[in-house]
Homo-oligomer: A and B are copies of this chain.
Amino acid sequence: MPVAVRDLQMEQDVRGIKIQKVGIRGLEVPIVIIEKVPGRSQRTIGVFNMYVEVSPNQRGTHMSRFVEIANKRKKLNLKMLQDEFLPYLKQKLKANKAHVEVEFTYFIRKQSPMSREFCQLPVKCKFTASDYHKPKLTVITPITTVCPCSLELTQDNSAHNQRGYVTIETISQEIVWIEDIVKIAETAGRFPVYPLLKRPDEKVAVQAAFKKPRFVEDVVREVAKQLKHIRVIEWYKVSCENVESIHNHQAFAEIEKED
C-alpha cells in the first residue's frame, strides 16, 4: 500500500509573505508567430518565462503545469498571449495574477536597395503578457550609424561608423506589429542593416549613411518622435546602443515616455 504523500506546495505557509512571481524560466518550445501580412505566420523557437503570484498563506505552486501549458499553445500573437494564454494559466495554477514573457527570433523579409535580392533579417523580440501592466512588445533592430562629430572633425568625409542596436519597448492594448517597429528603428538609424548587400547596394548604403550622420541621441529622439504620434501606444521606452568602432565600450542613449 502506497504511503500517503503530502502535497507540500499546497500547504499553509506561516511566514505571511506574498510572492509576486513563482514559476519557470528558460523553457524552450517551438512556436508560430502570426505575421502582419494577413494569413501569414512563421515558425520559430520561443523561450518562455512564466510566473504566477503565490498568496501569503500558500507555500508554493505546481511547476510542471507551466510546462504542460507552454507545450499546448503553439500559434501566438501578443494579444492572444494576454487575452487567452494568461487567463488559462491563472485558472490552471489557481492564481490571482500571472506574468508571461516569450522571447524569440523573428525574420523580416528584405530586399537589398539596388540589386533587389531577397534575404531575411533576424530581429530579437519579446512578448510580455502580464497582470502587472498592459501587454508589452520589445523589438531589437540592428542599424548602422555614422558619427556626426567625427565627420565634422575630419572635414574630409571620413568618419567612424558602427553597428548599433535599437531596442523599442511599447505598451499597447491593441496589436503593434513587429514589422512596423523595425521600420521605425531603421528610419531613425538612417540606414538599415542588411544581411545581403551586393556591390551596388553597398555603395548606396554607405553613402546614404554618410549623408545623414546620427548620434545615439539623435536615433532615440527620431524614434520617440514617431512613437509619440501612434495613438494606440500608451507608453514606450527606446534605447540605442552603438558598438563604437574606435572604442571598446558602447555609446548609449535611452528615452522613456513620462506621463
User: A residues touching B (Cβ–Cβ < 8 Å)?
Assistant: 3, 5-6, 8-9, 13, 15, 17-30, 42-45, 49, 51, 54, 59-61, 63-64, 67-68, 71, 105, 107, 117-122, 142, 144, 146, 148-150, 152-163, 191, 193-199, 202-203, 205-207, 209-210, 215-218, 220-222, 224-225, 239, 241, 243-256
Known: A27-B249, A246-B205, A246-B206. A5 touches B153 (CB 8 A): yes
Min CB–CB distance A74 → chain B (angstroms):
11
- Which of B64, B122, B244 has a CB less than 8 Å from the CB of A28? B122
A-B contact pairs, 21 of them (CB 8 A): A5-B155, A9-B149, A9-B215, A19-B221, A20-B255, A20-B256, A23-B251, A23-B252, A25-B249, A51-B254, A63-B251, A64-B197, A71-B118, A71-B196, A154-B207, A158-B158, A160-B161, A160-B202, A160-B206, A162-B163, A162-B245
Question: Which residues on B sit within 8 Å (CB–CB) of A105?
Answer: 28, 45
Q: In the complex this chain forms, how many copies of it are found?
A: 4
Question: Which residues on B sit within 8 Å (CB–CB) of A252?
Answer: 21-25, 49, 51
With most chain B CB atoms within 10 A of its CB, the pick from A24, A42, A119 is: A24
Question: Which residues on B sit within 8 Å (CB–CB) of A202?
Answer: 64, 149-150, 153, 160, 246
Q: Once bound together, how far apart are the Cα atoms of A239 and B217, in whole Å? A: 34
Q: Quick one: closest B residue to A3, CB to CB?
A: B155
Question: Which residues on B sit within 8 Å (CB–CB) of A23?
Answer: 251-253
Is A29 within 8 A of B205, CB to CB? no
Question: Which residues on B sit within 8 Å (CB–CB) of A220?
Answer: 19
